[in-house]
Amino acid sequence: MNKKILTVASLLVVVAAFAFAELKDGKFSTKEAKADERGYTAEMTITVKGGKIAKIDYNESKGGKNSKWADASYNANMKKVSGTAWADAVKALEADLQKKGASDAVDAVSGATELSARFKALAAETLSKATK
């Protein structure tokens, strides 16, 4: 029991330290090591200016080609099935990350739970490169 409490407390300290960490200016990029079950690999670039997130570019593509941004049928099908198009969900996630400045504070997009989790994980990894 005490070990669990200590582990949870340690984790909260690490998360809090990261959430309040200063960001260094520059461009920071991360790409997933392997593709998902559909063959898409996610990548993200975050630009930091003045210690704040200035721009976020998130994409999923097959072999660096066939971006979901350009795949109208994928977006239409996702919207039909889940109520949210992939591109709309990404725009909402990017805006939320830019506003809140921390990946763990980003709200999941309804109808895009898997995308939201993937986005947040990649954002955390990318922001860790920008932490002073």
| 83: CATH | 3.90.1010.20
- Enclosing H/E stretch for 29: strand 26-31
pTM to 2 decimal places: 0.82
Instruction: Provide the number of structural domains found in the chain.
Output: 1
Residue found by looking up tokens 């704040």 in the block: 52
Domain of 111, in residue numbers: 23-130
DSSP E strands, 39-113: 41-49, 52-61
Locate 119 and state its tokens. 């986005």
Is residue 98, in this structure, part of any structural domain at all? Answer: yes
**Tens of pLDDT, residues 56-111:** 999 999 987 889 999 999 999 999 999 999 999 999 999 999 999 999 999 999 99
Q: Which of 9-18, 61-70, 80-89, 115-124 has the lowest mean pLDDT?
A: 9-18
Is residue 7, in this structure, part of any structural domain at all? Answer: no
Q: What are phi and psi of 49, to 5 degrees?
A: -135, 135
Is residue 8, in this structure, part of any structural domain at all? Answer: no
Is residue 4, in this structure, part of any structural domain at all? Answer: no
Residue found by looking up tokens 């690999």 in the block: 41
Is residue 16, in this structure, part of any structural domain at all? Answer: no
Average pLDDT, the chain: 87
Residue (of 102, 97, 100) closest to 15 by Cα position: 102
